[in-house]
Every structure is written in structure tokens, then in C-alpha cells.
Chains A and B, each alone.
Chain A
Amino acid sequence: MSEPTTPLTASGATASGAAASGAAASEITAPPAGPRPAGRRATRVGPSRRRAAYAAAGSPVLLALPFYVDRFWLQAGLLAMAAAIGAIGLTLLTGATGQLSLGHAFFLAVGAYGYCVLAGDGEGAGEPVGLGLPSWAAVVLAVLLAGVAGGVFSPIAGRLRGAYLGIATLALIFIGQHVLFNAHDLTGGYNGRAVPPLSLFGLTFDDSETVVAAVPFQAMEKLWYVGLLLLAGCALFARGVLRGRPGRAMNAIRDHRIAAGVMGVPVARHRAAVFVLSSMYAGLAGVLLALVFQQTVPEYFGFILSLEYLAMIVIGGLGSVTGAVVGAAFVTLLPQILTRYSEVLPLVSAPGTGGVSPGEVSRYLYGAAIVAVVLFLPGGLVRLAARRGPIEKDEAERP
């Protein structure tokens, strides 16, 4: 894989291009040669300290939001959190390991419907099947179920790569849609099924009101904290994976599969394992999405959703956890904001009035954003933030 910082504008294929790429290569290695040790140390401390500062400043705001913001924004924020969890999973697979997946929506669906089936009570005539498990157990099992689904696919996920894997995973989307529309007993068919509310330690996360500090807490307010907690946990875990041994192995597989194999990285096993991990992330994202929507419909988990997740990780910055979160916020909140302010924005008209709807505008925007980000900002939006700071090598190393 070519270094994203390489100014390889020439094709590298013509005679002069080959010379140019040689020059470019020396250009990369030359500058850091002198101050490298100092720069190295600074990267270890700098961004993490800065990030800690951001986190310290941001978390009280995030924690206080449910007291001040109305349901619309909380729901939008929760959707963004769920998307962020899913996007972190996809960035582990596509960004860090270089395995293109178009099937992410399938695993989201497994998580969402898995939770419904496991936690639903399944009583009443015509109701879809439910096992009636306690809802916390259903969450855990739904995530494991998504992992198992990923594992079942591992004979393919472990052996294919690049476009072959991308299109093979496309099959998952269609299989998923087929099952969701046809297995009425499990999924409720076209209309989907209601999502049983989460209940934890006697606290039920539904619309029954609990008043906290004179603020009525409904489902969104309560779920907000669940979402924050899950997202923080997922992000930390993914960061640990990326920084540790498995992360090195994953990057090695992405950058040079054969060299990685020669150095003793079990390539197929790692690919399959990352695929399973990424599916579990997607499963958890699916559960959270289901809890926020309170109704799961099969149409949602289609091809477009997979494309959205790819858009998130590319826009945010491939292979970076922060990037996945930023990209998820961008792609999820954009249509919501455009919808909310469609009256005051030029060129955007409310849905159903015949003009360009907010959903379409946001699709133009993030479609174009993918192209522009890869062209002008190979590290994604995260890179933009890092570039303003004094140290950027750490981020620049992750394409």
C-alpha cells in the first residue's frame, strides 16, 4: 500500500514517473531522519494528552445534554453513537486490515433482530417468536450471535480479499434482506417487529417517565447514557486492539500480506478473527439502533446502509477509531440537521414537496465527501484536526 503522504502524482509507470517516485520515496525518509527520536517521543505523549484534554472538556457536556436538549437531538445523537460503534467495527476490518466489506448492514440486522427475538416475549396470536430472555442477556447474546454469523462466513472472509471479498459480502446483504422479508415468524416480515425495551437493574429504558432533577427522563434520555457508555467501551477496546499486537498484525496484513505471513502472522486466521470482531461491533450497533428506533424494519438494513458505513470510515479517516466516530457523526447527523433546518436552507426543500429533499442533499454531500477526502485529505477528517497541532506524524502513519 502506498504511503498516503507520498506525493505520487506521476503515474510511477512512465520512465520519468519511476524516477519521480524514487525521488518521492527519498523525500519521505529524509526529513524525519534528524529530529526523529524527539518527534517520536512527542507523538506518544502529545496527541494522547491533547485527546485527554478534549475528553475532559467534552464529557461533562455530553453527560449534561439530556437535561437541556429535546428528544429530536437526543435521538439524532443516539443514532450517531450507534453508527459510531458500527463504524469502529468496520474501520477495524476495512481501515486497519484492508478488507473491503459491503456486508456490514447484514450484521447490524443480525444484532437488531437477534435482540428482538431473544428478548421478545412472543405472546399473543400473530406475534413474532420471542424467547423472553432478560433483556441484558439478550443484548450480550445478540452480539455473540452477530459474531457467530461472522464466524460462519469466515471460510470466505479468511481467504478472499479486496474486491472479491467486497462483492462476496454483498451477497450477505441480499441473503439478509431475503431472510428478513421471508422469515415472518422471526422478523415480522415487511412491517418489522417492535423492539422490547432494555431493562437493567430494575430500570426500564422505555417511555415511562422518571423525573431526574425536574427533567422528565424518557427513553431517549435514559438510553443516552447507555449509548455513551457502550461507545466509550467500544472505542477504548478498539484502540487497545489497534495499538497492541493484533493491531500491528492487522496493519501488516493490510500493507503487505505476504511479508506479514513470512514474519509469522497467521494471515487467514487474523482476517477471519477481525471479521468476527467487526461483526460483533456491528451487532452491538444494531442492538442500540433497534432500541432507539423501537421498531425494526427490514428495508433499513439494505445496500445503502452498508455504503453509509463505508462513507463514515473514509470521511473520518480509515483505520482510526476517532475517525470512525467523527465520520459516523458527520454521516448520521447531516440528514437530520438538513431536515430540521430545511426551511431556512437554500436549495433544500422539505421531504415530499418535489424539490431536492434533505436526504438526497446529504447523500450528494457525503458521496462527494468520499471522493474529496480521498483526493485531498488521505487521512480523513481526523488528519485535518491533527494537522493544526504541532505533531502529526502519529496520525499520518495511519492511512
Chain B
Amino acid sequence: MTTFVELLLNGLSIGAVYALIALGFVIVFRATEVVNFAHASLLLAGGYVTAVLRDDIGFLAALVVGVAGAALLGALIEFLVIRRYRGRDHSVLAIVTIGVDIVLLAELTRRIGSNVYPMGDPWGDGVLTLGGVSVPHTRVAAFVTAGLIIAAFLLAFRLTSWGVATRAVAEHPETAALMGIRLGRVSLSAWAVAGGLATVAALFLTVFPTPGLERGTSLAALKAFPAAILGGLDSTTGALVGGLVIGVTQSLATGYQSDLTFLGRGIGDLAPYLVMLLVLLVRPAGLFGTRELARV
């Protein structure tokens, strides 16, 4: 039972991190209708900047610079590439982001090489034990931070004029533009936000118990894609639920791996995708996605 609770808590925490990534993904999709396959490399870029700078300027400052850097990179991608394609077919745009991803990923993997960059976070490898259930400090920090950031964004969506503008664009871009909302700014800010969120996620994907940032970190980020799809690409609630479902599934599958040996080693990494396929079989638009209604 203790193991189960531990795994569940770990899963919720990692799920909150996936939710952060998926949230950025969904924000970009709602603002520009582009499926951002470059998201994984944005995450790696932010994480890389943080990890490289932390020796010189300290952890917190490095994290701030990393977040700002990834946000800037996201904004640059939007400004230099995505903006030029507005009005084109969206599946072609998705392929364009794949092109961007190939370039960024090639550069980052070349820089990272076979190194592992520890994040140098203040939590270290401390473990919190409550009534026999022990959870690493990093997991607690991840859950709290991700929860706060997500809550802040949900509030911003409801209350700020930026949030209203973003929601209006997601609802109907042309009408929003006619109402005086600047589509360019909305999509620029969406990409920047996605980059920033991805960097925070990168931090929590690479702290204890994982050794640090490495080439493979972007593969971990790919697990947030099923999270976004599972919840429904155009739903922020979906991103949260999807992230948590994926996180818990992965944690449980990894934890009970020894009972699941017939499925082979590393089933935990596969579990998110299997869950996604199952959900898509039943609900092709995801759990909270809007079912497309078309009037002919």
C-alpha cells in the first residue's frame, strides 16, 4: 500500500510537469491552430541554457535566463517562420514545425553530446517522509510549482485582457481580428509562453531522481504529446487531466514493472502511448476536446 501511495504521488507530480508541457502545446494550438512539433526542442533549449549558466550565475538566475531564452526562441520561431505561413493548410504547418525541430534538435544534441548536465537545483536528493510514505523533495517542488503556474495561467485566461484575447482567437480568429485583437501578438505571446513553460518543465524532468539534462530529455518531453491529445488538443482542462493521467500511468507501470515482466523492460515509457491509443479509440477528439461539428 505504501508503494502504491508513493507511486501515485510521484505520478501526480510528474504528471503535473507533463501538464505544463501539454499546456504550452495547447496554448499554441489554440492561438495559431498549429501543432507544435518543435515543442520538445524548445524544452531542451531552455533546459540547456539553464544547465550551462547555473555555474556562473547561480541556479535561480540561470532558470530565469533559461525561461526567458526559451520564450525568446519560441517568439523568434513564431516571428520568423510561423507568421509567414498564416492562412496555409495546418497540416503543412505542422510539418514546418517538424523542420524547425530537426534543425534545433540537431544543434542541441551536437552541443550536449554525451554529456549529462546536472541542474544544480536547491532540492538535491532530499527525501520527505510522512507516515512511512517517502517522496523526494524535487517531486514535491515540481507538484507545487507546476500547480501554481497552471493555476496562474487558468486565472490569467479568465481575468486578463490577454487571456480574453487568446480565447477569442481560439474561438474564431477572423471575428477576433475584426474586433481589434491583433492576431500576431496573440500568437507571438502564445509561443513565448509555451517556451517558458517548457523550460520550467525541463527543470523538473531533469532533477533528482534523474541524473540531469541529456540528449534523451527531449524524448521524455515527447510524452507530453499524448497528454495533450488524450485531453483534447484545444482544451486546457484536457491538458491538465491528460498530463496527470499520463504521469500516474507511467509511474504505476514503472513501479510495478517487476510484476509486468511479460511485457518486457521499459513498459513505463510505453504506457502513456498505450493509454492514449485506448482513449482515442473511444473518443477520437480526446476526453475534453471539442467534437468537430460541420455544417454543410
Contacts and interface: CB of A to CB of B under 8 A. Distances in A.
Which of A18, A374, A399 has its CB near the most chain B CB atoms (within 10 A)? A374
Interface stretch (A61-69, A178-186, A244-252): A178-186
A346 to B, nearest CB: 17
A385 to B, nearest CB: 21
Interface string B89-101: 1111011101111
A391 to B, nearest CB: 25
Contacts of B106: 360, 363-364, 367
B233 A367 contact: no
Interface in A324-381: 356-357, 360, 363-364, 366-371, 374-375
A2 B89 contact: yes
A154 B264 CA distance: 25
Nearest to B95: A314
Contacts of B110: 356-357, 360
Contact of A174 (B107, B177, B270): B270
Given A360-B106, A370-B98, A163 B35 contact: yes
Contacts of A258: 294, 296
Contact of A178 (B84, B86, B174, B264): B264
B58 to A, nearest CB: 30
A375 to B, nearest CB: 6
B211 interface: no
Contacts of B85: 374-375
Interface string B255-294: 0000000001111011001101100110011100000001
Contact of A368 (B99, B174, B228): B99
A307 B173 contact: no
B1 interface: no
Q: Main SS of the interface on chain B?
A: helix
B102 to A, nearest CB: 3
Contact of A166 (B81, B94, B284): B94
A179 B91 CA distance: 29
Interface in B190-218: none
Interface residues of A, number: 57
A311 B273 contact: no
B16 interface: no
Given A100-B94, A374-B96, A307 B88 contact: no
Contacts of A399: 89, 92
Nearest to B113: A354
Interface string B214-231: 000001001001101100
Contact of A310 (B89, B95, B225): B95
B222 A170 contact: yes
A394 to B, nearest CB: 20
Interface in A306-329: 307, 310-311, 314, 318
B45 to A, nearest CB: 14
A370 B102 CA distance: 10
Given A162-B90, A170-B273, A14 B103 contact: no
Contacts of A1: 89
Contacts of A155: 281
Contact of B277 (A156, A259, A374): A156
B170 interface: no
B132 interface: no
A28 interface: no
A42 to B, nearest CB: 28
A181 B178 contact: no
Nearest to B232: A164
Interface string A178-199: 1101110000000000000000
Interface string A1-33: 110000010111111011001000000000000
Interface of B: 29, 35, 37, 81, 84-92, 94-96, 98-103, 105-107, 110, 173-174, 176-178, 183, 219, 222, 225-226, 228-229, 233, 264-267, 269-270, 273-274, 276-277, 280-281, 284-286, 294, 296
26 contacts: A10-B87, A11-B177, A17-B177, A162-B90, A163-B91, A166-B35, A167-B226, A167-B276, A171-B277, A174-B273, A175-B274, A179-B264, A181-B264, A258-B294, A303-B219, A303-B222, A364-B103, A364-B106, A367-B99, A370-B102, A371-B81, A374-B85, A374-B92, A374-B95, A374-B96, A375-B96
